[in-house]
Homo-oligomer: A and B are copies of this chain.
Amino acid sequence: MGLRRHVYHQLFARADRSDKLTLFNRFMIVVILAAVAVTIVATEPKIFRPHRELFIALEMTFGLIFGVEYVGRIWSVAEEAGDEPAWKARLRFMVTPLALIDLIVVVAALMPFFFSDVALLRIVRLIRLAALAKFGRFSAALRELVRALAERRYELLVTMALAACLLLFGASSLYWAERHVQPDAFGSIPRALWWAIITLTTVGYGDASPITPLGKFLASIVALSGIGLVAMPTGIMASAFSDAMQRQRGAEEDKQTDT
């Protein structure tokens, strides 16, 4: 009983309450980041092929760690049970989204590497990153961000609608101007939308760009007028997030002053 309580505290102690991560939590963050890094690197054939065995061993190790953690959580979550039977608390925990992600990750991690051509299976392991959302302050920050976005959803919606109209207007203009000259790049509005998005986000690969004087003239107008508009939703998001962060800091400082 003493052991289960100890394990429970190590695995579940929410950092947003105590503002501290347990030793085990710190270890798991390192393991998750390492597992994700290994998954990323393993997709590169030039690195994977000569070290096939190493990667399989690493994957197995990470899978084992995640498996042990998962089992440990299910076992120790019974501490939350109170008067009800332990299996009820366990079942309640198992159907939470983060626990389901944990399960998928464990299954994916332990899946043998022999089916390695099923590349998608490997990518599934990247959702391990979602496991990081469990950890206190980071999850508090995400909640703050979502709240800040919800608060300005109206501005976001209006600016996004305007940006969408501009993208559509730009794509239609260039479709009209260049559809016969460059049918591959501007032969339909969906194709021209690719140009519009890559231009108005200022990425500008150069795989689609107007070549006629009329097309260049229209593209210039669209580019000059549009860049601000397309950047507006992200600017609103950034300022909302920044405000939310400052409010949170202010609140934390007030708390500290009160104490």
Contacts and interface: CB of A to CB of B under 8 A. Distances in A.
Interface of A: 36, 39-41, 43-45, 119-120, 123, 126, 129, 132, 137-138, 141-142, 145, 152, 154-155, 158-159, 161-162, 165, 168, 172, 175-176, 179, 187-191, 193-194, 197-199, 201-207, 209, 211, 216, 220, 223-224, 227-239, 241-242, 245, 249
Contacts of A203: 199, 202-204, 223
B188 A44 contact: yes
Contacts of A230: 224
**Main SS of chain A's interface residues?**
helix
Nearest to A180: B119
A202 B216 CA distance: 16
A14 B79 CA distance: 56
B179 A161 contact: no
Nearest to A144: B158
Contacts of A39: 189
Nearest to A44: B188
Nearest to A207: B209
Contacts of A152: 245
A215 B237 CA distance: 26
Contact of A40 (B189, B205, B241): B189
Contact of A237 (B158, B198, B228): B228
Contacts of A188: 43-45
A230 B39 CA distance: 23
7 contacts: A36-B168, A44-B187, A141-B154, A155-B245, A158-B245, A197-B223, A203-B203
A141 to B, nearest CB: 4
Given A43-B190, A228-B234, A176 B138 contact: no
Contacts of A224: 197, 201, 230
Contact of A41 (B190, B198, B205): B190
A190 B175 CA distance: 22
Contacts of A119: 175-176, 179
A242 B231 CA distance: 13
Contacts of A45: 187-188
